[in-house]
Amino acid sequence: MSCTVTVTVNNKEEIYEIDKVARQAAGAVLLREKNAVVLATVSRDEEMVEEDFLPLTVQYIEKSYAAARIPGGFIKRETKPGDFETLTSRIIDRSLRPLFPKGYAYPTQIVVFVLSADPEVDLQTMALNASSAALYLSDLPVEKSVAAVRIGRIDGEFVVNPTKSELAKSTLDLYVSGTKEELLMIEMRSIATDKVEVVPMTAPDPLMVPDLLTDDIVEEHDVNELTNDEMLEALEIASDAIAKASADYEKGFSSLKKPIADLKLKNVEETFESLLVYIDEFYKDDVYDAINQMAKSERATHLKKIAEKIAQDDIAREEGWDEDVIMKMVDRYKRDVVRKMILEERKRADGRGLKEVRPIEIETNILPSVHSSCLFTRGQTQALVTVTLGSGKDAQMYDLLTDKEAHYENFMVHYNFPGFSVGEASPLRPPGRRELGHGNLAKRALEPTIRLDKDQKVRVVSEVLESNGSSSMATVCGGSLALKAAGIAVQKLVAGVAMGLVVEGDQYAILTDIMGLEDHDGDMDFKVAGTKDGITALQMDIKLGGIDKNTLKEALDQAAEARLHILEIMEEAAEKISLNEKALPSRSVFSLDPSTFGAIIGQAGKTIKEIIEKFEVSVDLDKETGKVKVEGSDKVQVSAACDYIRELASKKREPRGHRGKSPHFEAGQIFDGEVKRIVDFGAFVELPGGVDGLLHISKLSDERVDRVTDILQIGDRVKVKILSVKGHKIELELIEKI
């Protein structure tokens, strides 16, 4: 018989309808919040899997009819899940997986359908709350209820469960899940906000707008990082809200919970003590040698050989130890050794101290034809991160269920993890949930530190070439430097570090920059990314069932130390960046009086066509705003095209009878001029008649010059020689400063 439970908590009224639909599932609820309706179901198979793992799958699906829409595309039905659906499925999985008892090995599926949408309702918190309720009410051996809460920060104040419109004004997006006793999962990102002021650099025209490639004008913004204390304050608020919600859920649902099914659990605690003693007595050194094999593939091979060797011993045959049991106990012995070294000896398998970061090597712009690249290596983790600059139609189009119009993603971060990065011969497949999750984490870390206008598109791609711990954080570090190496105005560099935790009774140890072995055998995976001033993104998964606040504070403080250490190395690498001038596209945006556009376009478009062909650029004129956008693959040509367009516009503004004739320029002529503008590849010198010539950095001196400002400053008077005249492009050579 169906029933309804209404829970009012944390600024929300949630109406749960139980046993009304999907009654053949092990557990099912309909959750209503305002006009949003979500169906969550839990199903399980009757037979256990043979492997020793929890076979849980979660699928969150948004139905188009929920927003009164028909799916777009050729096939008018829901097809492959979008990134938001995949990431939401991951959030549900990571929050609920810790609730299952050890030894539970029945294939289990949690399916969430969004049946009706409301633009003001947070579907991610709603989906997790519905899934938790369905799981708690089912006949599965889960005795706790999980709650999700989102924390925003509006006008400096933390807000619990903001609406979607309120979240749009927030400088923080913190998603936390947990039970009434403990936190289980954290996802956090800071949200940058624009500052009012605009800081001019070396703009030749006071109407010029930001050009991220040449830094003509840089629009500053607040990254809105969270300090450790602010992070802890926000988590304290989230923890209190979760505890209250979880208690209310259990109170409302406990009398409706189905009896627990009679399910067998695998005896995961069976340790074969005699076998562990045997390994310790005769194969201890072999296991230690395997632990010292830092590469995952080498270590796995070494451990397998040990198990095979033990299986051939007469004792193993007499005791009836088969190879599977031996392999499990070898792995168990290895785990115990690793944890004992950390807790008792304060020593790690690779010899590092608990707070020590692995050696870091950084190379930038190693790929000649790529707009920018960074090879970031930390120990045995290596990421090759590239940046490609685009415009126009290069944005990634995506749909949101509650919005009728399509959205466009101007900043993309894509993470790839080929099998060879861990020594495996696995087939190359499209990115899975893990790849999408890691790419999303890196994007959340990097995005607050850059500002792109609506016409600029950037794609960051991380190719993980080697992995032994936290390739996502290597992606953050390499990505920040690759953005810098592309000439993008990066407000602050971002570094990331993965933290670990090992707990046995009252003993615990926090590990900085964990490797794969410590991730596998540890109790926490805690990734923190940020600038020198605070945290921009954070992700935490707890394996042992919660973490106390003092330990969390210690982990955050230790992560901050490591982040500052990594940032110091990154800053040194940033100072050595040399832009890929030949590969980088150029883009300049400035403003003119729209009344001058007729002279720029010409009769039947003749003039603008000539500009496009002569300078090999694209030109976009916005008659409403007066904005002029010029793009091309050659910075010199783009700059020359801009100068030519300004010249046409200035002639249009001159009264009749006041237009002077420009002087004739030829190669070999020598003139005195004034430095009007400095860019990274040279300086523009004003010649007679107000015509600018380019003095390339290579023509400043017979010796190599790293920065134009080492030789010239704006306003310097110089004597120059004309090297060549190509249309409106005049190339100069410096003779001397006057």
User: How high is the mean pLDDT in each 10-residue block of the chain (738 residues)?
Assistant: 89 93 95 97 93 91 92 83 94 94 94 96 96 96 95 96 94 95 92 60 32 42 93 94 95 93 77 84 87 71 88 86 87 90 89 94 96 96 95 80 82 94 88 93 96 85 93 97 94 96 89 89 89 96 69 92 97 94 82 85 87 87 84 81 87 50 78 86 84 88 85 90 83 90
> For the chain, what's the residue count?
738
Sequence-distant (6+) residues with CB within 8 A of 260 are: 139, 140, 141
DSSP class of 280: H
Q: Centre a 10 Å sphere on the Cβ of residue 242 and count the other Cβ atoms it contains.
A: 26
Task: Quote the pLDDT of residue 58.
Answer: 97
What whole-number distance in Å separates Cα of residue 125 and Cα of residue 118? 13
What whole-number distance in Å separates Cα of residue 308 and Cα of residue 300? 12
**What six digits make up the tokens of 424?**
């495996």
Maximum C-alpha span of the chain: 111
Report residue 589: phi and psi, to 5°. Answer: -130, 130
**What six digits make up the tokens of 288?**
């230690």
What whole-number distance in Å separates Cα of residue 663 and Cα of residue 436? 59
- pTM to 2 decimal places: 0.80
Task: Quote the pLDDT of residue 55.
Answer: 95
What whole-number distance in Å separates Cα of residue 233 and Cα of residue 231? 5
Task: Quote the pLDDT of residue 534.
Answer: 96
Strand partners, 419: none
Alpha-carbon distances, residue 104 vs 97, 124, 128, 325 (angstroms)? 11, 26, 21, 18
